[in-house]
Structure 1
Amino acid sequence: MYYFIVNPNSRSGKGALIWKELRRTLRQKHISYKAVFTGYRGHAVKLAASVTAKASPEHPVYLIAVGGDGTIQEVLSGVKDLSCIYFGYIPTGSGNDFCRSMQLPQDPHEALDCILKRKHIASMDVPVISIKGRKSHFAISCGIGFDAAVCHEVSVTPMKKILNRVGLGKLVYLFVALKQLLFLKPVPVTLRMDEERIYPFHKVYFAAVMNQKYEGGGFKFCPDASPSDGYLDVIVVDGLSKLKVLFCLPTAFWGKHTQFTGIHIFRCKKVEVFSTVPLAVHKDGESAGIQETFSVSIEKEPVKIILP
């Protein structure tokens, strides 16, 4: 039995249309399944908790997220015991950073075929972000500052819906990034890693904690990040001029930004982030509010994920 948690509003409403096509395929193949639909932000957390409430390692649930990267974050956050599920993903969003890093099909029909065949099951680390005592999972990245501010604005700008309709949704990240960079003021941020290593920075544009290589619609911010090595990769952009950041950002699509002075990359098991002023924070591209501090670690149990 497959359980699908579907975000019908993903990709500006195209998620519902894509699901209808996938449902037709499931019926034609006589696949046993149940589907539930999200109705508001955070709903997938509750749905995943309900679907997996009676799951166990002996009787696992095949749990499939159908939506964008933010849907993955919510679905994983709703699962209390990750050892009790097999996780699959069908992309109907516009960013698709999860697919890039995990080398999953970006075509929804190919992704469904991959899930039904179940040829390869792998383990994936699941990070936990803790903000003011509240914890949630994420799959790709979380961050504070510039990248989070871009995610916040992208999620509410009408431009995203307009560009999605003509297949150019990824351009919205570029437009918003340029706008945010113009008005951004770098601030002091301190990182504490693995309880002992302390790194103070004075003019930080953003700091991102990565479980995958990509975020923000294709930026390869941590080229060596692996979702199965038990480590978090952390990137800090500090002390550059805005002109240099502007020049540096496009090179991040190929992971070449690491050659610039002011780009710092670390690896750790746990990281605590402290900002001197409240800044935007995101988790898998979804808003986590305006915060001064948060911490990230990795769950003891990885999740089993269905790959091609």
Structure 2
Amino acid sequence: MNVEKMNGKGTLEMNQVYHFIVNTAARTGKGIFAWNELEEILMQRQIKYETHLTEYAGHAKTLARELSEKGTESDPVYLVIVGGDGTVNEVLNGIVNFKNVRFGYVPNGSANDLANGLGWFKFDAKEILNKLLDGEYHGFAMDLGCSTDESGNKNLFAISSGIGIDAEVCKAALHSKLKKFLNAIHLGGLTYKLLTIHKLFTMPHVTCYLKLDDQPEKMIQKGIFAVGMNQPVEGGGVPMAPKAVCTDGKLTLCCVYGYSRFRAFFVLPSLLAGKHEGKKGFWIESFSKATIRLESAMVLHADGEYCGEQKHVCIECLPGIMKFI
């Protein structure tokens, strides 16, 4: 059985092996250099660890499934993710049983919206790893979200899941040459903002029907997007839900509707500045479970990952299931 306790200095002591799932392709291939620096810290601190390098798209999900199967509730696997938001999403969707895993996360992507949502933007990767090893996040339990499409496919998410233009932007960013270029000059967070401006002029308008928890279903005309937020920001720092909290057992809806393409361009600055709450055409509200029905299909995403074209989706909160080391 593992020994786990806090010593007098606040450092977490354990007879435990850390399993690092590392996306070396993060930040357009620069992830390997960041990992080399982190590995030096592990060796200096004489940490027991095993490295699991991702080799292809979806590999982090496979590794997470294999590793989580080895844990039990009384003897959990200690799993640390080194990569971007997409790597985190893969890992979450590979976990067999969250009770059998304790998580760590060292951000090393282009957007790092999860790190921003957690308030870690002021720390670099080495500082976060040291804080993790010092037990500063021990006991922290984060909510996750789950989106279920019309075919019953479930996608867990740590940041957000939505349908409409924000999902269109995420889909475009996955294979964007612009993203690769901006990542190379350390401006990857601009990708989503620039693609959003482009998509505004081609976006469809859809009539949709939204139901939050036990409230009556509400018809939305000229729907542009609807997203369930677990963190305040998505898409490289866009503050869709500035008041969202990932430990309150709730998600936050951000729905934008009723604007023409031309008018939408001029309200975009208020959204980017987080000043949209209370404005006409913006619906911001917390919920535990939401259902969205569309008259015509739109792109669905979970943490920026493409989840197909959907006409019906259910988004719900999974309170406190992501427990940190």
TM-score by length of 2: 0.90
Partner of 2:35: 19
Q: Distance in 1 between matches of 2:153 and 2:170?
A: 21
CA deviation map 1:222-258 (0-9, x unaligned): 1221111111111110102323322222222332011
Q: More displaced, 93-102 or 23-32? A: 23-32
> What amino acid sits opposite 1:19 in the alignment?
W
Report the CA distance between 1:47 and its aligned residue.
Answer: 0.8
Equivalent of residue 262 in structure 2, options 226, 243, 248: 243
CA deviation map 1:69-119 (0-9, x unaligned): 111111111112222222111111111111111112552111211111112
Partner of 1:210: 229
> What amino acid sits opposite 1:7 in the alignment?
N
Q: 1:293 to 1:64 in 2, by over 3 A?
A: same
Equivalent of residue 229 in structure 1, options 227, 248, 254: 248
Q: Distance in 2 between matches of 1:260 and 1:91?
A: 33
Equivalent of residue 134 in structure 2, options 117, 121, 125: 117
SS at match of 2:19: strand
> What amino acid sits opposite 1:279 in the alignment?
M
Q: 1:300 to 1:164 in 2, by over 3 A?
A: closer
Partner of 1:87: 103
Q: Distance in 2 between matches of 1:171 and 1:237?
A: 21
**Structure 1 residue 129 corresponds to structure 2 residue 183:** no
Q: Distance in 2 between matches of 1:239 and 1:129?
A: 25
Q: Distance in 2 between matches of 1:39 and 1:157?
A: 21
Structure 2: stretches of 5+ with no match in the other structure:
1-16
Is the contact between residue 213 and residue 289 of structure 2 (CA under 8 Å) also seen in structure 1? yes
Equivalent of residue 69 in structure 1, options 85, 89, 92: 85
Report the CA distance between 1:123 and its aligned residue.
Answer: 1.2
> What amino acid sits opposite 1:49 in the alignment?
R
**Structure 1 residue 287 corresponds to structure 2 residue 306:** yes
Report the CA distance between 1:301 and its aligned residue.
Answer: 5.3
Q: Distance in 1 between matches of 2:324 and 2:232?
A: 17
Q: Distance in 1 between matches of 2:124 and 2:109?
A: 11
Structure 1: stretches of 5+ with no match in the other structure:
none
SS at match of 2:33: helix
Q: Distance in 2 between matches of 1:206 and 1:300?
A: 24
Equivalent of residue 276 in structure 1, options 291, 295, 298: 295
Number of equivalences = 306
SS at match of 2:181: helix
Is the contact between residue 248 and residue 260 of structure 1 (CA under 8 Å) also seen in structure 2? no
Q: Distance in 1 between matches of 2:237 and 2:269?
A: 10
Is the contact between residue 82 and residue 301 of structure 1 (CA under 8 Å) also seen in structure 2? no
Report the CA distance between 1:54 and its aligned residue.
Answer: 2.2
